[in-house]
Amino acid sequence: MNSEMGNNSDKKAQLSQILNQLREEGKFQGILLSYRNGEPICTSFNENLKDMDGSELSSMCASVLEGANNLKNVIGEESLTKIVAELNSYIFLIIQCDRDVFLTLIADFNSDVKKVLDSIERIIKKLLLLY
C-alpha cells in the first residue's frame, strides 16, 4: 500500500471518528458529510437508520442544497447558513461547509441540536481539514 492510500484511509478513519462523536454528543440519528455533487464523503448512522442508503440520501440533500442556493440568489441573500426540513419524526439540517462540501444532520426530538449548532464553525473547520 502506498503512502497516499494510507493517508486517505487515515483521513477517512478520522472523519468517521469525528462524525460518530458528533452523532453521539448531539444524539443525532445520522450524519452525512457530502460533496456538493451528491457524492458522500463519510456517513454515520445509528441502529434505526443503519439500512439507509447514504448515497441516495446524500444525492437528495445535494439537490435541496442546490435549490436553496438558487433561491438565495433569487431573493438577493449573500450567504446560506442552513436548511431545515421536518419530515414526520426526523428533522434534517443541511449546512454548507464550503463551496463544495455540506453536512447533513438527521435529528429527532431528543437530539441536542442547539449544542451542536453553537459549535458548528469549529466542527466544520475540523472536518474541512480532513477531507
> Strand ranges (DSSP E) for the chain?
30-35, 40-45, 83-87, 90-96, 101-107
pLDDT in tens, 84-113: 999 888 999 999 999 999 999 999 999 999
The residue-averaged pLDDT of 19-47 equals 94
Evaluate if residue 46 carries a pLDDT over 70: yes
Distance CA 92, CA 82 (A): 10
Q: Which of 56, 18, 62, 15 is nearest to 38 (CA)?
A: 62
Q: What is the tally of structural domains in the chain?
A: 1
As beta bridge partners, residue 44 has: 31
Domain that holds residue 52: 3-130
Q: Which percentage of the chain shows pLDDT scores above 70?
A: 95
As beta bridge partners, residue 61 has: none
pLDDT in tens, 58-87: 999 999 999 999 999 999 888 888 999 998
Distance CA 49, CA 46 (A): 6
Write phi, then psi, for 123 (nearest 5 degrees): -65, -45
pLDDT for the residue numbered 51: 84
Q: Which residue has the higher pLDDT, 57 or 51?
A: 57
CATH of the domain at 42: 3.30.450.30
**Global pTM?**
0.89
